[in-house]
């Protein structure tokens, strides 16, 4: 699918975004191995979450979809999963594969996890190594570092492990394995990362003690909990950048989750001078997670240096932040983000290559990018390279660029945001053309 985008006279309106992808994955997995039943509303309909749901069903989970989109009822198995009859396919979802590795490491059967071409090239050693240390039996390509992965579950032991990178996926995988391990599991993080797993486990009756960047998980059983999944701030980020950078914009994104481990994009935009033009409205708590409506209005951003401890909390938003930097005064430096090179694509190189097509003054570095703001881009033909976040970042660039921008493989956006192009048309007041 190709998408042609032009610069609208204004960007105005009120929209909602899909349910938080990270919370959706965890709601499906944890309720499936808990006791009782739960109703989850606001579940992300993106392809990544659909992959997790399909894998859990193949493992015997009873997940019934409701009449309303994003609503499911889950009948918990009390950890009694069954051996799958076929290979489990995580699609394009690194979260699905890494979390399922932790879940399956303790199951008393053999399972095989694979994914699409992109996922099969992404490093899995970061979860395989600690899981093996816990006693898991895992085989994979290239020295057990790449999928497909074969797991022969069995008895695990809790470990004390210092994580080499701050990663919510790695942390959550180890914690899932630790639920049924003998003894406590202790993790030391180099920097904060998303804490949705800790919050959900605590709500479901398992003790997770935190002390700064360290946490201790005590093994235990879970009870199902109803959840209302808030809007995904990673999806909202595209509209926030568009609203701040378009010269005639006033955008309100409703019901967005503001978990402190996820708000790096707001901090970065404030560091770039968003000020009162980026505001929180109607702050509340929903399902144990802080939520607010986010307003973004036209302003002049300024270059900033983005690096250090904020990077794990903004890693998914860095491509669209690079778009914002193109319209900021001065130079923006993104550093300490080498993790971008092992996402769905090498997001450092693909972001730089595609924005260069639009006339950006941008260079790749080993662990980030340097962007000299020019205040303008010019429409051109770009390629998402099959990366959902790059597709949507290029769409924002197209809304801001002069002339027409054509995005190849624009359908990749559906991985996390199935209604993205409808939302874009709504805010721009135009019918964007597809080919």
207-246: pLDDT as tens digits: 999 999 999 999 999 999 999 999 999 999 999 999 999 9
Query: 208-211 and 227-228 as β-strands: parallel, antiparallel, unpaired?
Result: unpaired
Question: 254 and 188 share a domain?
Answer: no
Over residues 120-140, the mean pLDDT reads 96
- Compute the average pLDDT of residues 132-144: 96
Residue 143 has pLDDT above 90, yes or no: yes
- Do 156 and 294 share a domain, yes or no? no
How many whole angstroms separate alpha carbon 30 and alpha carbon 197?
9
Q: Quick one: average pLDDT of 125-148?
A: 96
Residue 435: predicted pLDDT: 54
Cα–Cα dist 306/271, whole Å: 9
Mean pLDDT of 389-416: 96
Q: What is the pLDDT of residue 344?
A: 81
Report whether pLDDT(413) > 80. Answer: yes
- State how beta strands 3-6 and 433-434 pair: antiparallel
Regarding whether 112 and 66 lie in a shared domain, the answer is: yes
Q: Are residues 213 and 337 in the same domain?
A: no
- 347 contacts 392 by C-beta, under 8 angstroms: no
* Contact of 374 with 325, CB cutoff 8 Å: no
Tell me, yes or no, whether 300 and 430 share the same domain: yes
Number of structural domains in the chain: 2
The string of pLDDT tens digits covering residues 248-291 is: 999 999 999 999 989 999 999 999 999 999 999 999 987 678 99
pLDDT of residue 167: 92
Q: What percent of the chain has pLDDT over 70?
A: 99
Cα angle 119, 348, 275; round to 5:
115
Does 97 score more than 70 pLDDT?
yes
Domain boundary among 178, 196, 228: 228
166-207 residue pLDDT tens = 899 999 999 999 999 999 999 999 998 989 999 999 999 999
Q: So what's the pLDDT on residue 367? A: 96
Question: What pLDDT score was predicted for residue 433?
Answer: 54
Which residues, 6+ apart, have CB-to-CB distance to 81 below 8 Å? 32, 33, 59, 60, 61, 103, 107
Q: What is the pLDDT of residues 370-398, one digit of tens each?
A: 999 999 999 999 999 999 999 999 999 99
Based on the fold, state whether residues 177 and 312 are members of the same structural domain.
no
Tokens of 261: 């481990």
Whole-number pLDDT of residue 428: 94
DSSP helix, strand, coil percent of the chain (3-state; round to 5): 35, 30, 35
Looking at the fold, whether 247 and 155 belong to one and the same domain comes out as: no
The Cα–Cα gap between 316 and 324 comes to: 14
Which residue from 162, 163, 152, 154 is spatially nearest to 182, judged by alpha carbons?
154
**Confidence band (pLDDT; 50, 70, 90) for 404?**
very high
Q: Which of 20, 316, 383, 409 is catalytic?
A: 316
Question: Average pLDDT in the 51-63 region?
Answer: 97
Q: What is the CA radius of gyration of the chain?
A: 21
User: What is the predicted pLDDT for the residue at 78?
Assistant: 87
Q: What's the residue count for the chain?
A: 435
* pLDDT tops 90 at residue 53: yes
**Straight-line distance from the first to the last Cα atom of the chain, in angstroms, rounded to the nearest whole number:** 6
Residues spanned by the domain of 280: 3-19+230-434
**220 and 258, same domain (yes or no):** no
Same domain, 214 and 242: no
Strand ranges, E, within 266-348:
278-286, 289-297, 305-306, 331-334
Query: What is the sign of the dihedral through the CA atoms of 23, 25, 30 and 36?
Result: positive
CB 91 within 8 A of CB 64: no
Alpha-carbon gap, residue 301 to 317, rounded angstroms: 17
DSSP-derived letter for residue 377 is: -
The answer on 90 and 64 residing in a single domain is yes
- Asked whether the predicted pLDDT for residue 348 surpasses 70, the reply is yes
Q: Are residues 112 and 171 in the same domain?
A: yes
Tell me, yes or no, if 316 is annotated catalytic. yes
Q: Which of 228, 244, 271 is the last residue of a domain?
A: 228
Q: Which residue has the tokens 């801001």?
A: 400
Identify which of 121, 233, 96, 213 has the alpha carbon closest to the alpha carbon of residue 165: 213
Q: Indicate whether 174 and 86 sit together in one domain.
A: yes
- State residue 211's pLDDT score: 96
Q: Render 292-315 in DSSP notation, one character per residue.
A: EEEEEE----B--EE-GGGGGGTG
Strand pairing report for 305-306 and 331-334: parallel
Boundary (domain end) residue, out of 228, 256, 273: 228
DSSP state of 154: -
**Residue-averaged pLDDT of the chain:** 95
Q: Peptide bond before 148: cis, by omega within 30 degrees of 0?
A: yes
CATH for 300: 3.65.10.10
Residue 432 has pLDDT above 80, yes or no: no
Task: Please check whether residue 417 is in contact with residue 388, taking contact to mean a CB–CB distance below 8 angstroms.
Answer: yes
Q: Give dist(CA 25, CA 229) in Å, integer.
A: 11
Work out the widest C-alpha separation in the chain, in whole angstroms: 62
Q: What is the mean pLDDT of residues 306-312?
A: 93
């Amino acid at each position: 699918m190709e998408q042609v985008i032009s610069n609208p006279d204004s960007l105005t309106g009120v929209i909602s975004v899909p349910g938080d992808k990270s919370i959706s994955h965890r709601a499906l997995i944890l309720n499936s191995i808990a006791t009782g039943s739960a109703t989850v509303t606001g579940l992300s309909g993106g392809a990544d979450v659909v992959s997790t749901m399909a894998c859990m069903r193949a493992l015997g989970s009873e997940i019934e979809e409701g009449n309303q989109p994003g609503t499911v009822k889950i009948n918990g198995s009390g950890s009694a999963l069954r051996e799958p009859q076929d290979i489990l396919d995580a699609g394009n979802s690194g979260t699905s594969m890494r979390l399922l590795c932790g879940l399956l490491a303790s199951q008393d059967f053999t399972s095989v996890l694979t994914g699409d071409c992109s996922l099969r090239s992404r490093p899995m050693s970061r979860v395989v190594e600690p899981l093996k240390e816990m006693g898991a039996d895992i085989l994979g390509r290239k020295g057990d570092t790449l999928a497909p992965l074969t797991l022969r579950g069995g008895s695990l032991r809790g470990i004390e492990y210092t994580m080499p990178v701050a990663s919510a996926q790695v942390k959550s995988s180890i914690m899932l394995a630790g639920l049924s391990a003998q003894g406590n599991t202790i993790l030391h993080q180099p920097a904060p990362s998303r804490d949705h797993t800790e919050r959900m486990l605590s709500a479901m009756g398992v003790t997770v003690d935190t002390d700064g960047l360290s946490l201790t998980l005590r093994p235990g059983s879970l009870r199902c909990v109803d959840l209302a999944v808030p809007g995904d701030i990673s999806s909202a980020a595209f509209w926030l950048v568009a609203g701040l950078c378009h010269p005639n914009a006033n955008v309100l994104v409703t019901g967005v989750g503001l978990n402190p481990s996820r708000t790096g994009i707001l901090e970065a935009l404030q560091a770039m001078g968003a000020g009162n033009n980026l505001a929180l409205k109607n702050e509340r708590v929903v399902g144990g997670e802080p939520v607010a409506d986010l307003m973004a209005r036209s302003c002049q951003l300024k270059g900033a240096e983005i690096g250090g401890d904020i990077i794990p909390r903004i890693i998914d938003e860095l491509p669209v932040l690079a778009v914002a930097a193109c319209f900021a005064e001065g130079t923006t430096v993104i550093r300490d983000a080498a993790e971008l090179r092992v996402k769905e694509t090498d997001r450092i190189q693909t972001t730089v290559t595609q924005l260069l097509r639009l006339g950006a003054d941008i260079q790749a570095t080993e662990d980030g990018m340097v962007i000299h703001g020019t205040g303008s881009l010019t429409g051109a033909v770009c390629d998402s390279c099959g990366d959902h976040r790059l597709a949507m970042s290029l769409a924002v660039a197209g809304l801001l660029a002069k002339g027409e921008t054509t995005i190849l493989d624009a359908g990749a956006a559906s991985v996390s945001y199935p209604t993205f192009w409808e939302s874009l048309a709504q805010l721009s007041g135009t019918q964007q053309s597809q080919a």
